[in-house]
Structure 1
Amino acid sequence: MSGIQRGAKSSNLPDGMAYTAPGAVPGQLRGARHKIVAVADSDSYLKFACATLDALGPEWDREVLLVRSPIAPTREQTTAAVAGTFCAGMTTPVIPASGLRTALAGADVVLAAATGPVAEEVYLHASRLTPRPALVSGLPGVAFPATEKALQFRSLGDAFITHSHAECRAFSDLVDHLGLEQRVLVSRLPFLKSPARPEPVDAPLTQVVFAPQAKVPVLKDERIAILQSLAALSRRSGYRVRVKLRAWAGEPQTHLEQYPFDTLWGELVASRAVAGHELEFCTGSMAEQLVPGTAMVTVSSTAALEAIDAGLPVLILSDFGVNEDMLNRVFVGSGLLGTLSDLKAGHFFHPEATWLRDNYFHSQTVPLADLLATYAGRARTGKLTVDAGRLAAAKKRRWRLRIRTALPMPALKLIRKLRNVQSEQAVGNSAHASGQQPA
């Protein structure tokens, strides 16, 4: 059953709420209008925050903020992240960490949709409010492997959102191991729209989209091999082959990318290893790329789940390993694993039904909104407490890690200005290298 809450039992949750009956909401919460504020710090977390709050519906008062940070998204990344949500067309406020306490005042629930150090900073500010809001967090995509570090930064939280039964089991085990008093909730990734198991779309293949992952593969030669295989597919098949970047080289991302694919492609074109016309590079919303007739290829990316959700065939490259280091162990048993040879030949796959049920495509019988309403009610009545020991440990970590949000405003303004300029230049450079108009 989806919506089950697992993990060490917390005094912050009412007795009897460890397992919530489908669709059940405590009587005193029915009809209540609660406020949730989400705080993000990067493009991927901003997308997660907007989509999560969008799925809660207009019955909630919803607000999304960006905290000042060196990895804050550019204008283009922000537009892509908010696309299709209630935040589209709105200006996302950017605030300094010092302003968090004021910005979070009046919230019943705070969603720390941010990297670990920033999530902890959000929790520290929210913990000082009276009454204290419920503190909730989650990761913006595939969360395997489950790591102690992720939970330690979020140890002050009341609840941690996972997006599959497999993730719930992994993080629940860690919660118990660490002795944390928080619940692990099961929801669905908010940008997956299929009601349950997605059905394959029957359409002739005309386009292939590659979704890079910033962290894997690690080696430059491995990344070049992917680009050369994509180019070989383009030459053999005549398909339109696109590389959908999360960011142009030099732009901020949640994770550092040592060898950006657009830079490597420019090197291949300059050395005449490829003609240059084989591939197109673009940024923006992934949803815009996932149209009928498209296949998805990646080493490890949440974009694969978006493609599955759209009924499109997928190829998960296994040439570089299938393990926790490659962030793709979750796809074992999916039926989607293949090789660069499969890519060159244009072989793509649809997932196994049994894998779908355990990994991200379960039926959501208890909406996340109902689960969060329970925490909102507890917050509003002042029944949420702060563990003094964990609070002290969080404050100790804070001074070693606060640099992420503590740069002076002039420095951050300069960083953002340079990155916006780099973004515009990268679009032009990529189009020049491939002989195309910018996508």
Structure 2
Amino acid sequence: MTETALRVVALADTDSYVKWAAALLGTLPEGSDPQLLIVETAVAVSPAQQRAALARSGLDSSRVERVAFADVSRVLAELAPDAVLVAARGPVVRVLIRLVADLEPRPVIVSGLPGISIPATTAAIVNRMQSDLFVLHSTREVNAFDALARRRDLVQRFALARLPFAARSSEISCGAGSGTDLVFASQAIVPRERAERMQVAQLLVMAALADPDKRVVVKERAAEGEHQTHAQRHSYPDLLAKLAPLPSNLVVSTESMSHALDTAEGLVTVSSTAAIEAIARGIPVIALDSFGVDDKLINPVFIGSGVLGPEENVIQRDFRLPPRDWLTRNYFHDADKDDWISQTNELVTLRRAGALAAKPARVRRGGRFRDVWERRLAMGRKDRSLAGAAAIAVGVPLRIVLRPYYRLRLRSA
């Protein structure tokens, strides 16, 4: 089988996973047959978020369809894919992978993470254990996840792909961006506390006041009433409203990051993958280190990059690009190292020959009740079944009681 014959269907729901899945499908070779199914969970992308996620993804909008969870199995059976890319956060990915694994014939199951994935986590692997291939985006990530899987005695096959929205840039260039905007990439849970997020809001106001002729653009992932991959508290628009009147050159935007970068001089973030997207276009960044550098902030990956900086750097617009050695280890490896397509082809060839053994589901306590519980967690209010309601009524109190026990087990494992 040639690498041009793949029929790949992706399942995704939230903003970051829809963007990732669409862009990854957009890197398939000419002649492939890609399709993206947006699963209607309680936090699925809005139509506006969907348009932003698909912008410049390389996937034509005609290849995208929204489906109810109850219809996913039927639609997949009709499409008969060689492989299914399951692109979803933890609670949903487990449910969708089990659903795909029950199809006859069972397609190759591919999964992965949509952005910066350092540090490697056991939960990310465990949630995707039933997938045949786990896609990551730097040689450093592949090495870290492979080492973690070996330590935990978890069997998983990892593949490498340049971050798809970064891969389209021709080459890394030096110097500032060609625009004049300071673009701030908002994150839902980094930093998490209200006081820290207010500190960022105040910093953005100071940056706008420092240079009234240039815009400060607060790039939000969702407008009011829309959902994100992670639930956000203390949104920057709400915090900025408390600092009114605001400088006229400070604006909030929910356009795609790709379009926001068109007019960027530089990008500021704590740890958003938007930093990689900017660097790929030669737009320098500042990774704000005012709250430290640790795993909870998802920013240790920037150690050695030269882009970590304090608030003064933001006000002065002292943006930077990383050195070549950091780039090579982190997201900007040579394209010929990418192997997710070749590995997927290899697995599809085995499947067609009847030689691909299905990976067993993770052993879980709870049986049918556990399945119903996880489906309710994944679908939220979209699951209106009586079984789902009963699972929530029983499972929530039980989860509160057992959570400390399982956390202790995980730390001691």
- TM surpasses 0.5: yes
1:236 is aligned to: 210
| 8 A contact 1:249–1:263 mirrored in 2 | no
What is the DSSP-based 3-state SS (H/G/I as helix, E as strand, rest coil) of the residue aligned with 1:64? strand
TM-score calculated relative to the size of structure 1? 0.81
Corresponding position: 1:402 with 2:375: yes
| 1:160 corresponds to 2:134 | yes
1:334–1:217 Cα change, 3 Å: same
What is the deviation of 1:367?
A: 4.8
**The residue matched to 2:335 in structure 1 has which SS?**
coil
2: distance between equivalents of 1:31 and 1:162? 20
Question: Which of the two has greater helix per residue?
Answer: 2
Decide whether aligned partners of structure 1 residues 203 and 285 sit closer, same or farther in structure 2, where only a CA change above 3 A counts. Answer: closer
Match for residue 259 of structure 1 among 217, 228, 234:
234
2:93 & 2:331 partners in 1: Cα distance? 24
Partner of 2:118: 144
Q: Is 1:56 the counterpart of 2:20 in the alignment? A: no
Deviation at 1:34, TM superposition (A): 2.3
Q: CA deviation digits over 1:365-422, x for unaligned, max 9?
A: 145322211112122222222344636669665332211444565979xxxxxxxxxx
In 2: Cα distance, 1:56 partner to 1:392 partner: 35
For the residue of structure 2 that corresponds to 1:146, the secondary structure is: coil
**Cα distance in 2 for residues equivalent to 1:395 and 1:136:** 25
Match of 1:114 in 2: 88
The superposition leaves residues 131-184 of structure 1 with CA deviations (integer Å, 9 ceiling, x where unpaired) of 321111011111122111111111111110010011111111222233333211
SS in 2 for 1:90: helix
Rounded to whole Å, the distance in 1 between the matches of 2:3 and 2:310 is: 52
The question of 1:200 aligning with 2:174 is answered: yes
Structure 1 residue corresponding to 2:348, chosen from 356, 376, 379: 376
Of residues 171, 175, 200, the one that matches 2:145 is: 171
**Partner in structure 1 of residue 300 of structure 2:** 329
Q: Which amino acid aligns with 1:290?
A: L
Q: Which consecutive residues of structure 2, in runs of 5 or more, have no partner in the other structure?
A: 386-413
Aligned partner of residue 56 in structure 1, secondary structure: coil
Shift of 1:104: 2.2
Q: For each residue in 1:21-74, what CA deviation from the matched residue of structure 2 results, as whole angstroms up to 9, or x when unmatched?
A: xxxxxxxx2276221110001011001111001100332111100112111001
Q: Which residue of structure 2 aligns with residue 7 of structure 1?
A: none
SS in 2 for 1:93: strand
- Kindly tell me the number of residue pairs found equivalent between the two proteins: 380
What code does the residue aligned with 1:145 have?
P
**Greater shift after overlay, 374-383 or 70-79?**
374-383
| Cα distance in 2 for residues equivalent to 1:394 and 1:191 | 40
Kept in 1, the 8 Å contact 2:176–2:319? The answer is no
**Counterparts of 1:236 and 1:31, CA distance in 2:** 53
Which residue identity is paired with 2:230? H
Shift, 1:207, TM fit: 1.4
Structure 1 residues 396-405 or 250-259, which shifts more?
396-405
Partner of residue 161, structure 2: 187
Is structure 2 residue 57 aligned with structure 1 residue 82?
no
Give the partner amino acid of 2:7: K
C-alpha distance in 2, partners of 1:262/1:327?
23
Counterparts in 2 of 1:160 and 1:89: CA distance versus 1, 3 Å: closer
1:217 matched to 2:191: yes
Q: Indicate if the aligned counterparts of 1:132 and 1:382 stay in contact, CA closer than 8 A.
A: no
One-letter code aligned to 1:340: E
Provide closer, same or farther for how the CA distance between residues 91 and 54 of structure 1 changes in structure 2, counting only shifts above 3 A: closer
Give the corresponding residue for 1:127: 101
Name the CA distance, whole Å, in 1 between partners of 2:309 and 2:176.
21
User: Could you state the TM-score of these two structures normalised by the residue count of structure 2?
Assistant: 0.86
Q: Is the Cα contact below 8 Å between 1:153 and 1:394 reproduced in 2? A: no
1:86–1:391: structure 2 CA closer, same or farther, 3 Å change rule?
farther
Instruction: Check whether the contact 1:124–1:395 (CA below 8 A) recurs between aligned residues.
Output: no
CA contact (8 A) 1:133 1:380 kept: no
Structure 1 CA distance, aligned partners of 2:165 and 2:89? 19
The equivalent of 1:295 in structure 2 is 266
Contact kept in structure 2, 1:249 and 1:260, CA below 8 Å: no
Q: Does structure 1 conserve the Cα–Cα contact (< 8 Å) formed by 2:159 and 2:339?
A: no
Give the distance between the partners of 1:215 and 1:351, measured in 2 at CA: 25
Percent sequence identity over aligned pairs: 34
Superimposed CA distance per residue, residues 59-115 of structure 1 (whole angstroms, 9 cap, x where no aligned partner): 211110011211100111000011123544437322233322222221111100111
| Separation in 2, partners of 1:334, 1:317 | 13
SS in 2 for 1:325: helix
Choose from 336, 356, 359 the match for 2:330: 359
